[in-house]
Amino acid sequence: MLIDFFYTLRSAKLPVSVKEYLSLLQALQAGVVGPNSEDSYKIDDFYYLSRCTLVKDEKHYDKFDQAFAAYFKGVETVADFTQDVPLEWLRKNLELELSPEEKAKIEKMGWDELMETLKKRFEEQKERHEGGSKWIGTGGTSPFGANGYNPQGIRIGQEKSRNKSAVKVWDQRAFKDYDDQQELGTRNIKVALRRLRKFARQGHADELDLPDTIRSTAANAGYLDIKMVPERHNNVKVLLLMDVGGSMDEHVQRVEELFSASKSEFKHLEFYYFHNCVYDFMWKHNRRRYSEKFATWDILRKYNKDYKLIFIGDATMSPYEILQAGGSVEYNNEEPGAAWLQRLTQAFPKFAWINPEPQGLWQYRQSIGVIQQLMAQRMFPLTLKGLEDTMRLLSK
């Protein structure tokens, strides 16, 4: 049974060795994972044991999870989250679909009114509601709940975004790191990034300088005089800030291709993740984004102004997330995102924003217009021409 499991992991391009597989078998024989009452192993315990034994680097966790789920079909992963909102209120029986005319008739609340009304609903509501316009529920036009429609509400208990109009999200969400080992479908992205290259010779002299060797040998009456120089490296420094999760899930493949190309082209590359807009902290690993935060102030102090600052994100969010203190969909930020974007662009004069959203849709997203103003119109589409224009701007 486990031999097939081993080959499933290998087919998913996980670097699992025979030695690690044997270590897993030894752990099972030693009783590290105990059998349950049916004399079989608990799948959750086996999952953690096999991941600990077989996966050497946490960047492969996502591939392991996919391969594990594909092999052990029918196994469900249970997450134990504390829910303040009763799940019964959010049971999905229907999804509301409205015509453009019906949507236009629904009025949206302002920020203060929205927060005050949510507080009142928690105090007053005692049971589940569906299809209405007032209470926390499902399938209606209320600004609070799931699987309905409201031009400006708070999403609670919904699996993913449907209308991209929520100003806050009540649930704790888990994002995946972008895979920097993604196989590129084309080399054109690398070619576009090479416009930013700036070579310099640094370090030990370990490369033969053939022209200088010939010149020195000739000047030395034919006696060989070998000259060495340091190897040439791309000396450009890049600070890459990437939006992850939510509406960015639609663009994962292209962003991973760009991320892979960036890691291979730029020797001095630093990267961090954010969600929707930059606030007072960022993170490097999405699995640890709550436990290992990097203060934005520290990032501003750590890197010199010679770094090229590149944002990657669709800039699709509620304008409150950019302009309002407390506007983040996930927590109450003390300062608006616009303040942090301005600090970053002032600290790194060479900056640009790459947007994977089709450029024809930009005019219909209010938040994209706000970000464009904050970026001094330095926003480019994630296309080959857009990348070339970005590199040309940053290389000036």
Within a domain: residue 176?
no
The Cα 350–Cα 334 span in angstroms is 27
The Cα 270–Cα 95 span in angstroms is 42
Same-domain status, 275 and 374 = yes
Q: Could you read off the pLDDT of 43-99 as tens digits, one per residue? A: 778 888 888 889 888 778 888 888 888 777 644 433 333 335 565 555 555 555 656
Name the H helices within 12-110: 18-29, 43-54, 61-71, 100-104
Same-domain status, 244 and 218 = no
The Cα 314–Cα 276 span in angstroms is 8
Closest by CA to 193, choosing from 268, 265, 260, 269, is 265
Same-domain status, 39 and 140 = no
pLDDT of residue 73: 63
Same-domain status, 263 and 384 = yes
Q: What is the DSSP letter of 385?
A: H
Please give the single-letter amino acid code of residue 56: K
Within a domain: residue 80?
no
Beta bridge partners of 154: 144, 168
Same-domain status, 350 and 209 = no
Within a domain: residue 323?
yes
What's the domain count of the chain?
4
pLDDT < 70 stretches in the chain: 1, 34-42, 73-112, 114-115, 122, 126-135, 137-140, 143-192, 194-205, 231-234
* pTM (two decimals): 0.54
**What is the phi-psi region of residue 157: left when phi exceeds 0, alpha when psi lies from -120 to 50, beta otherwise?**
left
The Cα 216–Cα 227 span in angstroms is 8
Within a domain: residue 151?
yes
Q: What CATH number is associated with residue 261?
A: 3.40.50
Backbone angles phi, psi at 146, to 5 degrees: -140, 155
Within a domain: residue 158?
yes
Q: What is the DSSP letter of 290?
A: T
Same-domain status, 217 and 156 = no
Within a domain: residue 178?
no
Residue count (the chain): 396
Instruction: Among 71, 101, 120, identify where a domain stops.
Output: 71
pLDDT of residue 280: 94
Within a domain: residue 183?
no
Same-domain status, 228 and 243 = no
Domain that includes residue 211, residue range: 199-233
Same-domain status, 244 and 366 = yes
The Cα 51–Cα 67 span in angstroms is 11
**241, 271 contact by CB (below 8 A):** yes
Within a domain: residue 148?
yes
**73, 86 contact by CB (below 8 A):** no
Same-domain status, 50 and 23 = yes
Same-domain status, 7 and 91 = no
The single residue listed with the structure tokens 């609903």 is 121
Same-domain status, 48 and 107 = no
Same-domain status, 263 and 327 = yes
pLDDT of residue 83: 38
Please give the single-letter amino acid code of residue 381: P
Instruction: Among 38, 71, 104, identify where a domain stops.
Output: 71
The single residue listed with the structure tokens 């059998």 is 35
Instruction: Among 45, 71, 97, identify where a domain stops.
Output: 71
The Cα 388–Cα 380 span in angstroms is 9
